[in-house]
Amino acid sequence: MTFETVFLDRDGVINAKAAEGDYVKSWDEFRLLPGAAAALGLLTAAGRRVIVVTNQRGIARGRLDPARLAEIHERMGHELACYGGRLAAIYHCPHDRGQCACRKPASGMLEQARREHPGLDFSRSVLVGDSLSDLQCGAAAGCAVILIGSGRRAIETASAARQQGISLLAVCDSLLHAVAAHVLGSPAQAAA
């Protein structure tokens, strides 16, 4: 399967998550995860459309200013460009739970992307995320899904997804591993 569009969650996939209950509120708090920029460079070089879909509940809670989020995303785009990465779009949900149809696990951000990017086909797309809500969102839209994580949390998330009938393409420890082994290549090619 060749994936034409790659949807990426942000926190926990591209950058390090803030502590539980906190948010990345400024560029000074933003830390790219190892290999994430290289993974974006590989996707761009391979001609894939890369779209970030991120819940940003900190806005609804008054902990993150929308202008500050825009600055973080602009600087993230410049940083990724240094590695050859290009984002086709970034969509964010500023709402709290239960207030909208865009907050993952709902697929509103993916639907918006499909409206704004003609030819976007969910059956030829993959969503890479680090949480059950990411996987639920991708699966509900008909995308393949990849879980990023390791250890007990990844095992529990993968198990919960499977119990809900979500078929995981893979569980990987990093975005770079997911891209090299499952998005651009195949597990057999990666092992060779």
Active site residue 173: no
Q: How does DSSP classify residue 33?
A: P
Maximum distance among all Cα pairs of the chain, rounded to whole angstroms: 49
| Alpha-carbon span 164 to 78, nearest angstrom | 38
| 5-8 and 144-148 strand pairing | unpaired
| Alpha-carbon span 60 to 94, nearest angstrom | 6
Tokens of 113: 């992307």
Name the catalytic one among 11, 28, 65, 96.
Answer: 11
Name the catalytic one among 9, 22, 130, 134.
Answer: 9
**The residue type at 191:** A
Whether residue 105 is preceded by a cis peptide bond, meaning omega within 30 degrees of 0, is yes
| Alpha-carbon span 125 to 141, nearest angstrom | 10
| 49-55 and 89-93 strand pairing | parallel
Tokens of 26: 């400024």
**Secondary structure of residue 148 in the 3-state scheme:** strand
Active site residue 9: yes
Point out the residues that are catalytic.
Answer: 9, 11
